[in-house]
């Protein structure tokens, strides 16, 4: 395992200011910060400059409710002094500020040495100059606000007109430009555009509220332009959401008991996120998140041999999927996007890793480290973690089920700190009897234990969608990550459903 | 005038100049310096700090509203912010719910601000981490020590202009022994009040008492909840129950004037000292009674939800309050001053503030902490979540066995409903959240019934 370069006095090669495909680049500041950290005693340092524009609009009952348009720019520096890390970030992109930030990061690292840990190595991840941009047909920030506002107004008005007591719509846009430099010689710029939208119709009953969302609650997201939102056809589906929310109020309760469970793709995406994605985060497995997000039930000694799920379970870690929310060209440590296996034919074979966690675990790959902005420390995050397509279709799965429940579109989620005991609630359920979808069911919930649940997966559809989750919380200080989860409908046997309060 | 008020006033002036005299504008400029020293496997593995000034503008022009923010506070960045917000407002539909600006209103007096906490450096945090780790006597430890300093100024075109500062410190850590975890956490306005060794001792005592846990069947149990678990109840009540927008939209259980809680329950929001003394709309913050002796008396409002409900703003406007709702972030459940206090010995599974209540349990559970709590049904506020960081079986007032973590599915307001509260601890403990500025003060609670619905086996 090659150690990070540790010759004192290394010089970063800093290019002259360059106008790249972007209007201006910030490699100078990133390089200055890295050099300042090295000069202050770091043996490795990296810096991320990010300039981000975000735009969020929410609408209620046919009227725009809130519109916010934000800009954030700054630099975040990591310094490794001995075997202790420090990080410092400021929104000031001057040379002087970059130098001070690099020095501060190294000072903070030095303070960390008061309570030292084991020696830190970094697995090599290549170096050099690179540039990447997410695909984008229609730049979301250049779509006129009136067009975007009219969309949410029309979608929520359509739901309201169809009888919803409350109709809510939202879109979110992120446009991020990043410049990354490291003392290993990385010099990477990326331009990533993300957006998405959704509409939710709620119906009020006697002491309860039912809701139906399209395409899911708070929406579907990807690393794509506004063409993603156009494809969602929010207004076309809004009235049906209102109808279903109202129908749910008088639908029979999901029965309690053990049964065969068919999950829609969107709910399965969240199931994957909570019970696989988080469990295979290497920093959790190593105990680095024990006090907050928790640990993992997975034991590194069993990597390669543990039975995680049935033979149908093939989970990949793949930041190369065009347009999926967790995609990029390089992670925030400069590792290039590479597709890897996490679970193959039900056996656990891979983890989400960073350069230092991989070295500690004796693995030779990183690639899953990101921060949610310039002000935050990069850490292991899911990229796109999802199921490969299965051999069936949803129609075949239903036709093959004599007695079960179909559930879709997530409403609630909860899981323990080892990522084992979970409980989920969906917006809508249906009885499945004798191969046919039957009565609507309300308040469908299910609960289980991760590996036991995944081992009971006996049918899986090929109709895969890369669902995007823009609200994954992790870290202290808190960070909100964007992750993607390819998933398709699937069937599970012997699952406990209908858990109530 | 502090730097942030000066910045806010300049942006207001710039907006007047570019948007014209008819513009209504409100600007909050806030500088936040947050430093967090994090540890795991008994070593400091992450150590971070950032210092950021953010300017937020909301503009109401010709009947239309738009908002924006920036961290780019040079002349070009501020110009861009104002121009972009003006352009956005022109393209927004008419805002029927615009509640107008806060008129000139003086602040309530805030507690003293601790300079030492604001100026604290990485060594002071690292020392407390070292003390925690040492006090745990060889057990594996993890957690963090955090100090935050914020300084802010607010100005609007109606003449409101206020400024303020706040500093806070927090420490939160676990100790682990053979699969059992124990936690201790504390929030304070002064870093000097945080004793890493005391917290490490308490966390380790819990971990040591967590060995050989038994598995109990699902069911409704009498419980004593330690302050750390009660903090989660307060958090969810604030977000979904006392949220003025949820209330106005009939999505909340809250009914003003109704006896919805046991008469032992008195809850107030107490933001002064924990955060800036005014909100995003420049409304002065202050103590807000929410529940008095079991009767719900108020919900939290920003100017928009207040106008909808025919009330006044309670100073809870936030970045997302017009869409998510105005949420109180500093709830305090009043302790029972007539109860018995016991000193913290640093031994045994029970935190000192819960000991007297545990002594009165016939057969039930002592629960330290809740984790990953999520709403199952918003109207009745049924929450599902897990126990964490130590659960014990109590029989005839004595802890008799450690218990494995369990899932629960429980309506929070019903659990504290009339007749349901058997006892309230004598001391309210100040507890941090993962987000700076959010802080709870909670005593231990002895409750008649808590619905445990699952265990490690499923």
Q: Is the dihedral of CA B60, B66, B71, B72 positive or negative?
A: negative
Residue A147 has pLDDT above 80, yes or no: yes
Contact (CB<8Å) B458/A413: no
Whether residues B28 and B142 share a domain: the answer is: yes
Residue A454 has pLDDT above 70, yes or no: yes
Confidence of residue A500 (pLDDT cuts 50, 70, 90): confident
Give the distance from residue B425's alpha carbon to the nearest chain A alpha carbon, in angstroms: 26
pLDDT at B457: 65
Residue B244 has pLDDT above 80, yes or no: yes
Residue A1 has pLDDT above 70, yes or no: no
Distance in angstroms (rounded) separating the CA atoms of residues A468 and A447: 23
Contact (CB<8Å) A290/B40: yes
Q: What tokens does A322 get? A: 């065009």
Whether residues B126 and B188 share a domain: the answer is: yes
Chain B partners within 8 Å of A151 (Cβ): none
Chain B partners within 8 Å of A111 (Cβ): 37, 44, 47, 121-123, 125-126
Whether residues B320 and B193 share a domain: the answer is: no
Which range, A73-77, A410-414, B431-435, is most confident?
Answer: A73-77
Chain A partners within 8 Å of B33 (Cβ): none
pLDDT at A84: 95
pLDDT at A207: 81
Whether residues B220 and B201 share a domain: the answer is: no
The pLDDT tens digits of the residues spanning B33-71 come to: 999 999 999 999 999 999 999 999 999 999 999 999 999
For domain A27-249, give its CATH number from 3.30.2290.10, 1.20.1050.10, 3.40.50.300, 3.40.640.10.
3.30.2290.10
Average pLDDT, chain A: 93
Whether residues B164 and B103 share a domain: the answer is: yes
Q: Domain total for chain B?
A: 2
Q: What tokens does A426 get? A: 């969906």
Helices B122-135 & B196-208, crossing angle to 10 degrees?
30
pLDDT at A13: 33
Nearest CA in chain B to A63: B93
Contact (CB<8Å) A501/B52: no
| Interface size between A and B, measured as CB pairs under 8 A | 268
Confidence of residue B90 (pLDDT cuts 50, 70, 90): confident
Q: Is the dihedral of CA A393, A399, A404, A408 positive or negative?
A: positive
Residue A12 has pLDDT above 60, yes or no: no
Sequence ranges of the domains in chain A: 27-249, 257-497
Yes or no: say if A464 and A490 are a contact pair by the CB < 8 Å rule.
no
Whether residues B263 and B312 share a domain: the answer is: yes
CB neighbourhood size of A361 (10 A)? 17
- Cross-strand partners of B165: B151
The pLDDT tens digits of the residues spanning B248-260 come to: 989 999 999 999 9
Burial class (CB in 10 A: 0-12, 13-18, 19+), A402: exposed
Give the distance from residue A11's alpha carbon to the nearest chain B alpha carbon, in angstroms: 25
Confidence of residue A501 (pLDDT cuts 50, 70, 90): low
Distance in angstroms (rounded) separating the CA atoms of residues B288 and B310: 17
Q: Of the candidates B207, B227, B261, which is a domain's last residue?
A: B207
Helices B3-19 & B75-90, crossing angle to 10 degrees?
50
Confidence of residue A414 (pLDDT cuts 50, 70, 90): confident
Yes or no: say if B242 and B290 are a contact pair by the CB < 8 Å rule.
yes
Residue A20 has pLDDT above 90, yes or no: no
**Prediction pTM value:** 0.91
What's the longest Cα–Cα distance across chain B? 73
Whether residues B288 and B176 share a domain: the answer is: no
- The secondary structure element, H or E, covering residue B43 is strand B43-61
The pLDDT tens digits of the residues spanning B198-243 come to: 999 999 999 999 999 999 999 999 999 999 999 999 999 999 999 9
Interface predicted TM-score of the whole assembly (ipTM), two decimals: 0.90
Supply the CATH number for residue B66's domain.
3.30.2290.10
Yes or no: say if B26 and B61 are a contact pair by the CB < 8 Å rule.
no
Whether residues B173 and B224 share a domain: the answer is: no
Q: Of the candidates B161, B179, B207, which is a domain's last residue?
A: B207
Residue B383: closest CA among B203, B217, B225: B225
Whether residues B182 and B213 share a domain: the answer is: no
Q: Residue B132 is part of which domain span?
A: 3-207
A412-416, B13-17, B100-104, B138-142: the lowest-pLDDT one: A412-416
Whether residues B174 and B196 share a domain: the answer is: yes
What's the longest Cα–Cα distance across chain A? 74
- Cross-strand partners of A200: A168, A213
Q: Tell whether omega for the bond before A477 is within 30 degrees of 0, i.e. cis.
A: yes
Q: Of the candidates B189, B207, B225, which is a domain's last residue?
A: B207
Nearest CA in chain B to A378: B46
Whether residues B224 and B244 share a domain: the answer is: yes
């Amino acid at each position: 395992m090659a150690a990070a370069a540790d010759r004192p006095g290394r010089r970063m090669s800093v290019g002259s200011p360059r106008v790249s495909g972007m209007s201006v680049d910030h490699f100078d500041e990133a390089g200055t910060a890295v050099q300042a950290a090295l000069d202050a005693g770091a043996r490795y340092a990296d810096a991320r400059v990010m300039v981000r524009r975000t735009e969020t609009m929410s609408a209620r009952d046919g009227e725009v409710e809130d519109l916010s348009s934000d800009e954030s720019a700054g630099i975040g520096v990591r310094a490794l002094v001995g075997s202790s890390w420090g990080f410092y970030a400021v929104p000031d992109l001057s040379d002087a500020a970059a130098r001070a930030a690099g020095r501060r990061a190294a000072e903070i690292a030095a303070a960390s040495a008061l309570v030292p840990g084991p020696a830190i190595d970094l697995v090599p991840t290549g170096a050099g100059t690179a540039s990447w941009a997410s695909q984008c047909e229609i730049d979301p920030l250049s779509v006129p606000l009136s067009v975007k506002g009219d969309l949410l107004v029309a979608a929520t008005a359509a739901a309201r007109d169809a009888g919803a007591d409350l109709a809510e719509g939202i879109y979110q846009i992120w446009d991020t430009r990043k410049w990354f430099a490291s003392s290993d010689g990385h010099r990477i710029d990326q331009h990533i555009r993300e957006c998405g939208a959704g509409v939710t119709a709620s119906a009020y009953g006697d002491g309860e509220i039912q809701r139906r969302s399209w395409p899911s609650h708070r929406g579907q997201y990807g690393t794509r332009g506004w063409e993603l939102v156009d494809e969602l056809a929010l207004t076309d589906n809004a009235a049906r959401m209102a109808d279903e929310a109202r129908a749910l109020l008088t639908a029979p309760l999901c029965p309690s008991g053990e049964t065969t469970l068919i999950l829609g793709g969107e709910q399965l995406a969240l199931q994957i996120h909570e019970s696989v994605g988080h469990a295979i985060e290497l920093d959790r497995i190593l105990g680095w998140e024990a006090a907050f997000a928790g640990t993992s039930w997975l034991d590194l000694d069993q990597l390669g041999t543990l039975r995680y799920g049935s033979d149908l379970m093939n989970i990949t870690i793949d930041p190369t999927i065009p347009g999926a929310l967790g995609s990029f060209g390089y992670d925030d440590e400069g590792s290039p996007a590479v597709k890897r296996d996490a679970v193959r034919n039900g056996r656990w074979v891979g983890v989400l890793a960073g350069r230092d966690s991989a070295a500690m675990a004796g693995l030779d790959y990183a690639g899953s480290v990101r921060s949610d902005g310039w002000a935050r420390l990069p850490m292991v995050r899911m990229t796109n973690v999802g199921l490969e397509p299965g051999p069936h279709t949803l129609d075949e799965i239903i036709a093959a089920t004599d007695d079960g429940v179909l559930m879709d579109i997530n409403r609630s989620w909860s899981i323990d700190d080892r990522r084992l005991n979970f409980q989920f609630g969906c917006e809508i359920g249906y009885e499945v009897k004798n191969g046919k979808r039957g009565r609507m069911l309300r308040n469908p919930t299910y609960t289980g234990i991760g590996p036991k649940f995944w081992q009971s997966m006996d049918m899986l559809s090929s109709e895969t969608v890369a669902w995007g989750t823009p609200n994954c919380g992790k870290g202290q200080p808190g960070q909100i990550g964007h992750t993607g989860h390819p998933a398709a409908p699937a069937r599970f046997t012997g699952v406990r459903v209908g858990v109530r309060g | 005038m502090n730097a942030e008020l000066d910045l806010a006033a300049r942006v207001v002036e710039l907006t007047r100049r570019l948007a014209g005299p008819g513009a209504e504008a409100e600007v909050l400029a806030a500088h936040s310096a947050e430093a967090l020293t994090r540890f795991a496997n008994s070593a400091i593995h992450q150590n971070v700090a950032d210092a950021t000034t953010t300017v937020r503008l909301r503009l109401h022009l010709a009947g239309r509203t738009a908002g924006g923010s920036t961290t780019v506070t040079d002349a070009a960045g501020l110009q861009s912010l104002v121009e972009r917000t003006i352009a956005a407002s022109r393209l927004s539909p008419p805002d029927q719910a615009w509640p107008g600006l806060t008129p000139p209103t003086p602040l309530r007096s805030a507690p003293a601000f601790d300079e030492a906490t604001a100026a604290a450096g990485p060594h002071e945090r690292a020392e407390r981490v070292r003390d925690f780790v040492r006090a745990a006597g060889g057990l594996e430890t993890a957690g963090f020590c955090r100090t935050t300093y914020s300084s802010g100024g607010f100005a609007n075109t109606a003449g409101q202009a206020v400024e303020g500062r706040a500093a806070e410190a927090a420490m939160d850590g676990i100790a682990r022994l053979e699969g059992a975890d124990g936690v201790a956490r504390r929030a304070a306005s002064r870093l000097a009040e945080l004793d890493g060794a005391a917290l490490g001792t308490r966390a380790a005592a819990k971990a040591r008492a967590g060995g050989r846990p038994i598995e109990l069947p699902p069911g409704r149990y009498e419980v004593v909840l330690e302050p750390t678990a009660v903090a989660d109840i307060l958090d969810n009540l604030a977000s979904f129950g006392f949220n003025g927008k949820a209330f106005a939209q009939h999505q909340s259980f809250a009914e003003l004037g109704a006896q919805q809680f046991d008469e032992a329950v008195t809850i107030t929001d107490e933001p002064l000292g924990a955060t800036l003394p005014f909100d995003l709309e420049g409304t002065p913050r202050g103590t807000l009674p929410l529940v008095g002796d079991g009767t719900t008396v108020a919900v939290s409002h920003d100017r928009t939800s207040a106008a909808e409900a025919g009330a006044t703003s309670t100073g809870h406007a936030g970045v997302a309050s017009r869409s998510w709702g105005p949420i109180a972030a500093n709830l305090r459940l009043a302790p029972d001053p007539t109860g018995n206090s016991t000193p913290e010995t640093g031994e045994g599974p029970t935190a000192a503030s819960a000991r007297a209540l545990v002594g009165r349990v016939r057969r039930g559970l002592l629960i330290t902490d809740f984790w990953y709590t999520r709403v199952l049904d918003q109207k009745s506020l049924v929450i599902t979540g897990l126990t964490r960081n130590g659960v014990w079986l109590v029989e005839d007032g004595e802890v008799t066995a450690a218990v494995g973590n369990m899932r629960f599915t429980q309506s929070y307001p019903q659990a504290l409903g009339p007749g349901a509260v058997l006892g309230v601890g004598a001391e309210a403990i100040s507890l941090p959240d993962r987000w700076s500025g959010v802080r709870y003060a909670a005593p231990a609670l002895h409750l008649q019934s808590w619905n445990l619905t699952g265990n490690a086996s499923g």
